[in-house]
């Protein structure tokens, strides 16, 4: 279902270095599978496609049906891992313009992922006179961005519906037993789904965190999980595809040791842009610590060949390499017609499919960037559907975890995310941060 | 109207180095103003806010009114500089969700910026049963992506309307005298607007290239140009704000010489995301050549603090610095309410405006990232409206041009963009590329 192709970077990487790195990748994989590495309390994602809570899974589907039948709009409140996964899957499988499409599923707006008043007010305006449902996603319930958005939308739902009806329209994905959001949900009678303790935010797309919004969008979550299960099976059980993981891990770490600092995730399908954003969190948060790691960058080609292409071509070689996720088959295509007079000079393309032109652009770019010194890795996937996307998700999660162990970091923590939060709390005058407030305000010259 | 603030990077940059760089920036500015540097045939943007074609400007407004009155949908066909500027301005001043808003202006879809069949087919589907107008933007008319999209939409418009009516619905922004698109437009009787010879694509947002779609969105293009004129006046005429340019140029080149390779453009307003994309082309294409240049990256905070924040905080110091565009006033705001019981623990924010929380997040991040070794530059703008955005555009164009001269490159060419195109043409079998085709296919193992 997936092939990793590194034939076009062979000229950049010394064979012996690669073999050595492959051994390190293999050892790191063993650390992962034996659960003996750092962060081993966060390995729930590894067996998730097999071990997931089947009865909760059915509840997710039921709630999704309920929302589809009773709401015009689903408001999804979350940030980071409680935001990117669901949005990535919905856009990849439906469209970046999901909300513009004619459809029999609700509009889905993602909020609580910034503090911009104009963004929030706009969504409130879009909900006017609509029947709404809310899915708030937060392990603790105390993350500022989603907590504020939820307070505002709770008020809105409570003012629009009776208490009983309001309670039926709010779905909380949170800790199983404890925390602010869990307590609030229990007290108000909101339905809850679980963010498992052993699955970190950026690895949670195949839990209720991602699955409920995805199901509301009309996506077949059985197939999505089925694809992930196939990956688990291919990679970890019969190991027939383990090489696709280890080769990728080895190449990217070779590039890192050669001094490259950017991995540019490339797609030739605009609807994969949010999937690239999901990859940015997955890799950036997993590897970016202790002064180490590849900085993840996202591009959509050929669009960005007309903005970043110049840099990549002529200045990218010492800084970056590219990893392209490439699909082989397309549901939607269009043939370019012939035109009398050939006014635009395009008749050499008459009868050609647009997908073929897109593929030639990809191959032309691969050769051009390779010649410019920017290596191109290719992750080839048969098609873009539920099953293959589920496979791709699990594949990338595994690549990232193994890669983090090769790099020598804990791929499952994110201590650096706290720094801005602490400062923000202090500056906002949150009780308990008084002395910090004074110190920071002095630094700011306030 | 705009202040550049580098007080928070003073600790990172040696004062003498900064003073030296400031002299170099000053000299580079003189090269720009005396038009004695490389690419000096592309300096039309410099006087544009004063010297623009006033009668064409009126025609743009008339055509915009015509489109608003006669079309439900405007299809804008263009890539790179013929795409990003208009979209950046529309999203910044209206919304990233412009097409979802209730409004009395047409839907605006941007196409011809990729080769994805599913993206194009989706837009065709969205146009079904709608009255459409098309604005195709291409200096030559031969760039593959927009040329294909235009061929397909020309067919669509011709099949939907009479020949005469179709001709009234197609607007071509192209070379004044020559080229494929100009010839086609003249033969078919399409109205044309001009891409000036002395303004490159990425500097063209304040020509018809950007202004026609922007005007159709209901944006006051007089104010936009007025803001740019104010910048021209402040920077180049009375020079009261020239320091805001030169200081920025000096700081970013100091960082570059210290080994930093990424400039991360940051906004705390999601609707500025496309403006950041415009900045990426502006800087990436202008500076990324001869193995030199800062690679431009875009983030929207606090969203991306929950994806890239970890990396920036703990691994960013050797690689990057950040430049935040910050607005001081907001049209849209919302007060956080108090809640009985304080179930979510947010009552310490009761009575606080969301814009204030967003600003404290910015300040908290500034201090956190500074402590992590990632310098924060701040471009402070009074508010986000037509005038200030026009000012900001001209300001950034000037910063980029001067900076390119400091770096020692021609900031106005983009030779590297041709490489993938040539390969693509060869692989597609375009006449004249036969021997190249064979060579490339061999490299690909085809």
User: ipTM, 2 decimals?
Assistant: 0.97
Which stretches of A40-123 are assigned E, i.e. beta strand?
Answer: 73-77, 107-111
The single residue of A16, A306, A340, A442 carrying the catalytic annotation is A306
Tens of pLDDT, residues A134-193: 999 999 999 999 999 999 999 999 999 999 999 999 999 999 999 999 999 999 999 999
- Name the residue of chain A whose CA is nearest to B310's CA: A416
CA dist., res. A85 & res. A202, Å (int): 8
Decide if B288 and A430 are in contact by the 8 Å CB cutoff.
Answer: no
CA distances in angstroms from A349 to A320, A357, A404, B184, B335, listed in the order given: 33, 8, 45, 18, 57
- Name the residue of chain B whose CA is nearest to A350's CA: B148
| pLDDT the model gives residue B343 | 85
Chain B hits for A141, CB-CB cut-off 8 Å, are 344
Of B369, B415, B428, the CB nearest to A360: B428
Per DSSP, A253 falls in state H
pLDDT at B199 over 90: yes
- Give the pLDDT mean for B221-247: 98
Cis peptide bond N-terminal to B302, omega within 30: yes
CA dist., res. A379 & res. A239, Å (int): 18
Q: Which of B9, B99, B112, B116 to mutate to test the interface with A (most CBs of A within 10 A)?
A: B116
The answer for residues whose C-beta is within 8 angstroms of residue B187's C-beta and 6 or more apart is A343
Tens of pLDDT, residues B89-143: 999 999 999 999 999 999 999 999 999 999 999 999 999 999 999 999 999 999 9
Coarse DSSP helix, strand, coil percentages of chain A, rounded to the nearest 5 percent: 55, 15, 30
Whether B148 contacts A336, CB under 8 Å: yes
Decide if A306 and B415 are in contact by the 8 Å CB cutoff.
Answer: no
pLDDT at A274 over 90: yes
Chain A hits for B419, CB-CB cut-off 8 Å, are 313, 368, 371-372
Decide if A284 and B311 are in contact by the 8 Å CB cutoff.
Answer: yes
Average pLDDT of chain B is: 97
Strands A262-267 and A320-327: parallel
Using alpha carbons, select from A173, A168, A167 the residue that is nearest to residue A188. A167
| pLDDT the model gives residue A224 | 98
Helix (H/G/I), strand (E/B), else coil: A66: helix
Decide if A343 and B187 are in contact by the 8 Å CB cutoff.
Answer: yes
Query: Cα torsion at B392, B394, B397, B403 (round to 10°)?
Result: -80
pLDDT at B330 over 90: no
- Name the residue of chain A whose CA is nearest to B351's CA: A428
CA distances in angstroms from A35 to A22, A38, B53, B235, listed in the order given: 20, 8, 69, 61
Could you tell me how many helices (H) and strands (E) chain A has, helices first?
17, 10
Chain B hits for A271, CB-CB cut-off 8 Å, are 116, 118-119
Which stretches of A138-283 are assigned E, i.e. beta strand?
Answer: 170-174, 191-194, 262-267
CA dist., res. A311 & res. A373, Å (int): 12
- Minimum mean pLDDT among A277-286, A378-387, B118-127, B339-348: which range? B339-348
Neighbours of A209 (CB within 10 A): 29
Residue B16, Cβ density class (10 Å: 0-12 exposed, 13-18 middle, ≥19 buried):
exposed
Distance from CA of B197 to the nearest CA of A (A): 19
Decide if A361 and B424 are in contact by the 8 Å CB cutoff.
Answer: yes
Tens of pLDDT, residues A363-418: 999 999 999 999 999 999 999 999 999 999 999 999 999 999 999 999 999 999 99
* Residues of B designated as active site: 285, 306, 421
Please name the residue ranges forming H helices in A189-271.
208-216, 221-232, 242-257
Of A316, A427, A430, the CB nearest to B348: A430
pLDDT at B446 over 90: no
Question: What percent of chain A has pLDDT above 90?
Answer: 97
Q: Left (φ > 0), alpha (ψ -120 to 50) or beta: where does B39 sit?
A: left
CA dist., res. A111 & res. A132, Å (int): 14
pLDDT at A330 over 90: no
Q: B353: pLDDT confidence band, cut at 50, 70 and 90?
A: very high
Tens of pLDDT, residues B135-191: 999 999 999 999 999 999 999 999 999 999 999 999 999 999 999 999 999 999 999
| pLDDT the model gives residue B381 | 98
CB pairs under 8 A between A and B: 422
A177 φ/ψ angles, rounded to the nearest 5 degrees: -120, -30
- Give the pLDDT mean for A94-119: 97
pLDDT at A331 over 90: no
Bridge partner list, B381: B2, B327
Decide if A316 and B346 are in contact by the 8 Å CB cutoff.
Answer: no
Chain B hits for A363, CB-CB cut-off 8 Å, are 423-424, 427, 440, 444
- Give the pLDDT mean for A92-108: 97
Using alpha carbons, select from B153, B162, B4 the residue that is nearest to residue B73. B153
Average pLDDT of chain A is: 97
CA dist., res. A321 & res. A193, Å (int): 39
Tens of pLDDT, residues A196-248: 999 999 999 999 999 999 999 999 999 999 999 999 999 999 999 999 999 99
The answer for residues whose C-beta is within 8 angstroms of residue A103's C-beta and 6 or more apart is A218
pLDDT at B327 over 90: yes
Decide if A315 and B291 are in contact by the 8 Å CB cutoff.
Answer: yes
A308 φ/ψ angles, rounded to the nearest 5 degrees: -100, -10
Q: Is A285 in the active site?
A: yes
B111 φ/ψ angles, rounded to the nearest 5 degrees: -130, 180
| pLDDT the model gives residue B67 | 98
Decide if B424 and A360 are in contact by the 8 Å CB cutoff.
Answer: yes
Of B117, B355, B421, the CB nearest to A332: B117
CA dist., res. B254 & res. A416, Å (int): 26
Distance from CA of A237 to the nearest CA of B (A): 31
pLDDT at B407 over 90: yes
Strands B262-267 and A262-267: unpaired
The single residue of A145, A244, A285, A322 carrying the catalytic annotation is A285
CA dist., res. A276 & res. A343, Å (int): 38
Q: What distance, in Å, lies between the first and last C-alpha atoms of chain B?
A: 58
Whether B327 contacts B385, CB under 8 Å: no
Distance from CA of B221 to the nearest CA of A (A): 22
Using alpha carbons, select from A1, A196, A189 the residue that is nearest to residue A81. A196
Say how many residues make up chain B: 446
Of A100, A303, A313, the CB nearest to B99: A100
CA dist., res. A356 & res. B116, Å (int): 10
Decide if A420 and B180 are in contact by the 8 Å CB cutoff.
Answer: no
Distance from CA of A308 to the nearest CA of B (A): 6
Decide if A118 and B271 are in contact by the 8 Å CB cutoff.
Answer: yes
Decide if B364 and A422 are in contact by the 8 Å CB cutoff.
Answer: yes
* Burial track A4-32 (b if 16+ CB lie within 10 A, e otherwise): bbbebbeebbeeeebeebbebbeebbebb
* Structure token pair of residue A15: 């064979």
Of A155, A345, A348, the CB nearest to B337: A155
| pLDDT the model gives residue B331 | 86
Helix (H/G/I), strand (E/B), else coil: B358: helix
Q: Is A369 in the active site?
A: no
Whether A302 contacts B417, CB under 8 Å: no
Distance from CA of A221 to the nearest CA of B (A): 22
Whether A35 contacts A412, CB under 8 Å: no
CA dist., res. B396 & res. A49, Å (int): 49
Which DSSP string do the residues of B290-325 spell out, in sequence order? TT--PEEEEEETTGGGGTTHHHHHHH-TTTEEEEEE
The single residue of A371, A421, A422, A441 carrying the catalytic annotation is A421
Cis peptide bond N-terminal to A302, omega within 30: yes
pLDDT at B323 over 90: yes
Of B83, B180, B429, the CB nearest to A345: B180
Whether B52 contacts B206, CB under 8 Å: yes
Distance from CA of A397 to the nearest CA of B (A): 15
| pLDDT the model gives residue B172 | 98
Decide if A307 and B414 are in contact by the 8 Å CB cutoff.
Answer: no
Helix (H/G/I), strand (E/B), else coil: A161: coil
Q: Is A306 in the active site?
A: yes
Decide if A417 and B306 are in contact by the 8 Å CB cutoff.
Answer: yes
């Amino acid at each position: 279902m997936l092939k990793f192709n590194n034939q076009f970077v062979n000229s950049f990487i010394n064979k012996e270095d690669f073999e050595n790195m492959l051994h390190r990748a293999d050892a790191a994989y063993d650390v992962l599978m034996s659960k003996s590495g750092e962060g081993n309390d966060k390995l729930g994602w590894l067996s998730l496609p097999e071990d997931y809570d089947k009865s909760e899974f059915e509840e997710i589907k039921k709630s999704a049906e309920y929302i589809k039948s009773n709401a015009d709009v689903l408001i999804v409140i979350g940030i980071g891992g409680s935001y990117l996964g669901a949005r990535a899957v919905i856009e990849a499988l439906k469209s970046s313009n999901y909300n513009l499409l004619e459809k029999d599923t609700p509009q889905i707006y993602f909020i609580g992922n910034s503090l911009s008043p104009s963004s929030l007010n706009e969504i409130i305006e879009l909900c006017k006179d609509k029947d709404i449902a809310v899915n708030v996603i937060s392990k603790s319930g105390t993350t500022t961005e989603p907590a504020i958005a939820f307070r505002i939308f709770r008020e809105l739902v409570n003012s629009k519906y009776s208490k009983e009806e309001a309670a039926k329209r709010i779905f909380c994905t949170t800790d199983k037993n404890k925390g602010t959001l869990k307590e609030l949900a229990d007290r108000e009678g909101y339905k809850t789904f679980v963010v498992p303790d052993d699955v970190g935010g950026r690895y949670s797309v195949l839990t209720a965190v991602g699955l409920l919004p995805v199901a509301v969008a009309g996506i077949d979550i059985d197939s999505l999980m089925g694809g992930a299960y196939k990956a688990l099976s291919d990679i970890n059980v019969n190991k027939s595809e383990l090489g696709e993981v280890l080769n990728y891990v080895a190449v990217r770490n070779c590039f890192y040791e050669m001094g490259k600092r950017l991995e540019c995730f490339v797609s030739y399908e605009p609807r994969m842009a949010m999937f690239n954003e999901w990859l940015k969190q997955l890799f950036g948060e997993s590897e970016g610590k202790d002064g180490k790691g590849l900085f993840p960058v996202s591009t959509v080609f050929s669009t960005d060949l007309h903005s970043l292409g110049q840099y990549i071509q002529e200045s990218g070689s010492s800084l970056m390499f590219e990893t392209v996720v490439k699909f082989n088959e397309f549901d939607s295509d269009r043939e370019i017609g012939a035109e009398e007079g050939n006014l635009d000079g395009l008749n050499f393309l008459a009868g050609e499919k647009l997908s073929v032109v897109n593929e030639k652009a990809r191959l032309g770019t691969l050769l051009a960037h390779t010649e410019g010194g920017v290596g191109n890795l290719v992750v080839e996937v048969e098609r873009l559907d539920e099953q293959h996307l589920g496979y791709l998700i699990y594949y990338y999660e595994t690549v990232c975890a193994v890669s983090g162990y090769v790099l020598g970091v804990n791929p499952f923590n994110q201590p650096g995310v706290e720094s801005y939060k602490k400062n923000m709390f202090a500056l906002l005058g949150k009780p308990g941060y008084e002395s910090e407030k004074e110190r920071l305000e002095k630094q700011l010259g306030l």
